[in-house]
Structure 1
Amino acid sequence: MLRSFFMSFQKKAWKKYILFAAAACFLLSGGIWYVKEYTTVGNSVNGHEMPVCSVETDEKQAALTFETAWGDKKTGEILDILKEEKIRATFFVTAGWMREHPDLVGRMKAEGHDIGTMGVRHENLSEQTSAEIRAELQEAEHTAKEEGISMELFRPPYGRYSDTLIRTAAEEGFFTICWSIDSRDWKNYGKRSLIKEVVESEELRNGAIIRLNSEAKFTKGALKELIENIEEKSYEIVPVSEMILRDNYHMDVKGRQIPRMT
């Protein structure tokens, strides 16, 4: 009888163990699913903030972005080409450059280009504190407002970013924008190399964001042909502001904005 009692007890204990293990597995898998979903809402991926590098869209669109922090001669000529080709692009400028070249800033605005900021002096902000970043962005925004410009786009200088940088920029009302295609024009490899980097990139697809530098040696000379090559692939070139998603999206590990299913 005693033996029967222990056997019955052991069976009940095993049943409880199995039920407990099953429940634990269910909760664990559910927990993992929840964390994965949560960390891909907005600009967070696996617990880290991501800049917008491209956009998932059915529209066959791409964006040309120009980093503009030094000089003015080639930037003016680039604006001439864009006007001639009826292209609206996105210029990321520093507050210092805006103060020195209000005429070019005025042209950018009048001709329908996006104007975003890279801060005040084009310095690496990725290791700065939230307070330092906030001061930098507020000064840049104040300078823009003096020129009658409202900004919502921020490109971290050198493409270097941190969780703190992206979060602080968002708190100040900025979308942090990097790129999916780097023309590498800053390496001065020549016109053909620049065009090839963009046109033959596997990242040239709907929602691509292309990085260029206004004052790089070969950018101005390559621009017209680059535009023609992109348009020959049936892409419409639009400003970043017309392509990005402002809500109801999540990000993948490459910084691609993806609309959330509703």
Structure 2
Amino acid sequence: MSKSSSFRLASLLVCLCAIWFAGTYGPLAPFVQAVKHPEPQSAAFRTEGQPLPSLREWIRSEAAKRNIPPSDAIIDRVWKAIPGYNGRVIDVEATYAKAKAIGLMPDSADFPWVYKEVPPAVGLENLPLHPIYRGNPAKPMVAFMINVAWGDEYLPSILDALASENVKATFFLDGSWLSKHEDTAKEILARGHELSNHAYSHPNMSALSNARQRQEIAKTEALLKKLGVRNVWFAPPSGDYDARTVKAASEFGLRTVLWTLDTLDWQNPPASAVVSKIAQRAGRGYLILMHPTATSQHALKGMIRSVKAKGYRIGTVSETLSPDRVESAPPGV
């Protein structure tokens, strides 16, 4: 081989090595990797004369359509304090990583959206002291408030009905009742329900002095703490309260809560009438008041199923009044 041929061959090898190095480690590396491992793209999004968007770009553009802003807590003229409700935004990077890992395209029916909740700028804690009558109207959840001030003959069947429907409720306990039925209260708690304060002797709170109002709340709160309950709610007996009541409750770290819809079960209506009432009138964020009565004992399963038929979840008062998002349930679930 001539010297000139050897020189040309050596030069060619040097050039090839330089190209390989640039494509692997140099400025051409990103281009080479993009060609070898392109982002998934979908033919469904091809536009005449336009390049396809990358998967990440498509997720980012879709996010703007799917994001839901949070709802601030407000003071309403009728419903007083209404809790806020978290918004949701798509986590673009988490969604991209999940979709790419399983090889899904933008037009996939089961595209794996990953959401993050966004809290409202104004929560209940930012509002002036007012009672609460309902949860946020955008939240597909309902709570049963069970005020207990007398007897316990209907409680076992009510607890069994709640268990059979896989529902948790909030029991507001009168302190004088609680002092005589501690074992029953422990059973309610053991079944996963929420216990809260319903004063001590079922008085009309607005008729009491400031000191007596505080005493009514304090005595029951002490009994709840004895059971290990960390309570945050106070339901005034008969729904009777004034501004002093709301302030007194707040001194114990409690928010005053009433109801959106009353079963009026203490008037002993037919169970079918109560079920019909709930089916017609229950709405998002509703707090439904009931008591351990014969009517509620027979109506409870029907009430629960009527709420579920609307696609609402059923939770405790704390869950329903929280800003946490929940998804609508399939009707009947």
Amino acid corresponding to residue 79 of structure 1 in structure 2: L
Alpha-carbon distance in structure 2 between the residues aligned to 1:219 and 1:243: 21
Q: Secondary structure, in 3 states, of the residue corresponding to 1:115?
A: strand
State the partner residue of 1:18.
none
Does residue 78 (structure 1) correspond to residue 163 (structure 2)? The answer is no
Partner residue of 2:139 out of 59, 62, 66:
59
Rounded Cα–Cα distance in structure 1 between residues aligned with 2:232 and 2:207: 22
Structure 2 residue 179 is the aligned partner of structure 1 residue 99: yes
Distance 1:179 1:44 in 2: 22
C-alpha root-mean-square deviation of aligned residues, in Å?
Answer: 2.4
- TM-score between the two structures when normalised by the length of structure 2: 0.57
CA distance in 2, matches of 1:235, 1:70: 30
Distance 1:210 1:66, change over 3 A: same
Asked if 1:231 is matched to 2:311, the reply is no
Q: Which letter does structure 2 place at the counterpart of 1:136?
A: E
Distance 1:93 1:157 in 2: 10
8 Å contact from structure 2 (residues 235, 256) kept in 1: yes
Match of 2:289 in 1: 211
What is the aligned partner in structure 2 of residue 148 from structure 1?
228
Consecutive unaligned residues of structure 1, counting only runs of 5 or more, are 1-35, 247-262
Runs of 4 or more, structure 1, over 3 Å off, are: 39-45
Amino acid in the other structure paired with 2:317: V
More off after superposition, 123-132 vs 78-87: 123-132
Aligned to 2:318: 241
2:297 is matched with which residue? 220
Question: Secondary structure of the equivalent of 2:144?
Answer: strand
**One-letter code aligned to 2:306:** N
Q: Tell me, yes or no, if the aligned pair for 1:127 and 1:162 is still in contact at 8 Å.
A: no
CA distance in structure 2 between the partners assigned to 1:153 and 1:95 by the alignment: 14
Residues in 2 aligned to 1:129 and 1:44: alpha-carbon distance in whole angstroms? 28
Q: Residue type matched to 1:223 in 2?
A: L
Alignment partners' CA distance in 2, 1:175 and 1:151: 10
In structure 1, what residue type is equivalent to 2:154? Answer: K
**2:196 touches 2:224 (CA, 8 Å); kept in 1?**
no
Residue number among 166, 174, 185 corresponding to 2:246 in the alignment: 166
1:31 corresponds to: none
User: What secondary structure sits across from 2:184 in the alignment?
Assistant: helix
Matched positions, count: 205
CA contact (8 A) 2:132 2:258 kept: yes
CA deviation map 1:212-261 (0-9, x unaligned): 011x2311001111111110111111000112248xxxxxxxxxxxxxxx
Q: TM-score under structure 1 normalisation?
A: 0.72
Partner of 1:257: none
- Larger relative contact order (CA 8 Å, sep ≥ 6): 1
Cα pair 1:43 1:50 within 8 Å, conserved: no
Alpha-carbon contact 1:66-1:92 (below 8 Å) kept:
yes
Q: Which has the larger radius of gyration?
A: 2
